[in-house]
Amino acid sequence: MAKIAVIPGDGIGKEVVNEGVKVLEYLNSTYELGLSFKEFDLGAARYLKYGELVPDNVLNELETFDAIFLGAVGDPAVEPGILEKGILLKLRFYFDQYVNLRPVKLYNDRFSPLKGKGVDEINFTVVRENTEGLYAGIGGFLKKDTPDEIATQEMIASRKGVDRILKYAFEYARKTGGKLTVSDKSNVLTYAHNLWQRAFKAMAQEYSDVETNHYLIDAITMKMVRNPEIFDVIVTCNLFGDIITDLGAELQGGMGLAVSGNINPDTVSMFEPVHGSAPDIAGQNIANPLATILAAGMIVEYLGHEELSAMVDQAVQSSIDNNKVTPDMGGELSTSEVGNHLVKVLKELK
Ligand code: NAI
Ligand code: MG
């Protein structure tokens, strides 16, 4: 039994989550997974009507769930940042989701932005630290709004925080049989990333079966473009992870396929497409649901059904190979038709 909280959110979030839930419901009934779903109406409508983002009683209730399935939040009628900070970041911090898991997988050579690099070369996963680093929110102003103003923003690396993300990455590399690359700026950030280096080397001793290597962050951006095939799993800090995962999204063919897991195995984890609520195309049934469907696949994997997650991946592969996709990927299907097609392929794969 597992309980899934569904937060469709705003704009196309609702449309794509609908298709993700379609896939989950099919898997649930066909393979008797014992999943239950409950929808939560967090987002712009609730905020505009009641001034509420995530009320405490909702937070308390969400604690009893196994996973959160999120569409996207953001609406032109609400000042930018309010919903994103008040809902997305709120949940990430409240549940201390310290792992941001971002697969970078190219499904078809026709979407590769790199000459001579295709599906065999572009296939790796980024494990981004999601709670500290330069994004911990520590800093301040001195003499604000004067010519002598000073602003500081501190980079936090706690040994516990670094150890837990490294452990997750080593375990992930071991499970998937891949090499683990750590990327930092230890030559310049001689305190925070020195800690990363020492923690990484110490943990590598415990995982002698996992092959490891190291690239400085500036060098890794060049390698990701020039030789993406050398990567299996990359672990890095919050700031650098933010940047290289967007680079990764482009390597795999754009936002339509980029998916994100915000994970803490001890609390509640949250799975979502990387894209936003796309108000420019909302309500037209043309949004690409594949990233959200891949997020559904991550949920079943997280819940221990790895073979079903692989099947979702195969179904996405098939729909892309057969051009059963939305207009943004060059196809002619609507959002709901892609979802229906996915379920049809899953039935054939049974
Ligand atoms: P966006 O990702 O919503 O859209 C950027 C462009 O990509 C738009 O032209 C959109 O039509 C297109 N696009 C995005 N997802 C698509 C899909 N599934 N299928 C086809 N086309 C797609 O980013 P934007 O426009 O900067 O932000 C819109 C709103 O979403 C803002 O309020 C922003 O704050 C919010 N946002 C929320 C996120 C989240 O909830 N995780 C992440 C990013 C933005
Ligand atoms: Mg980003």
ipTM, two decimals, is: 0.97
Is 111 in the same domain as 223?
yes
Domain boundary among 245, 263, 281: 263
The phi and psi torsions of 122 (rounded to 5 degrees) equal: -105, 90
Q: Does the CB atom of residue 182 touch ligand 1 within 6 A? A: no
Are 290 and 322 in contact by the 8 Å Cβ rule? The answer is: no
Q: Is 39 helix (H, G, I), strand (E, B) or coil?
A: strand
Q: What is the DSSP letter of 133?
A: B
What pLDDT shows up at residue 251? 97
Query: Any idea which residues carry the catalytic annotation?
Result: 135, 185, 218, 242, 246
209 and 179 fall within a common domain: yes
Question: ∠ CA(4), CA(17), CA(22), 5° rounding?
Answer: 75
Our answer on whether the CB atom of 25 is closer than 6 Å to any ligand 1 atom is no
What is the distance in A from the centroid of ligand 1 to the CA of 160?
34
> Quick one: which ligand is closest to 88's CA?
1
Task: Give the range of the structural domain holding residue 62, as residue numbers without chain letter.
Answer: 1-96+265-350
Residue that finishes a domain, picked among 246, 263, 280: 263
Q: What is the pLDDT of residue 278?
A: 97
Position 280 scores a pLDDT of 97
Q: Running along the chain, 350 residues long, what does each successive block of 10 average in pLDDT?
A: 96 98 98 98 97 96 98 96 94 97 97 97 98 94 98 98 98 97 98 98 98 98 98 98 97 94 97 97 98 98 96 98 97 98 97
Residue 76 Cα: closest atom of ligand 1: 32
240 in the same domain as 110: yes
> What is the 85 CA–ligand 2 centroid distance (Å)?
14
Asked whether 170 and 163 are in contact (CB, 8 A), the reply is no
Tally of domains in the chain: 2
Is this structure's pTM higher than 0.90? yes
**Residue whose CA lies nearest to ligand 1 atom number 38:** 276
pLDDT of residue 248: 97
**Alpha carbon separation from 20 to 24, 115, 153, 292 (Å, rounded):** 6, 32, 38, 6
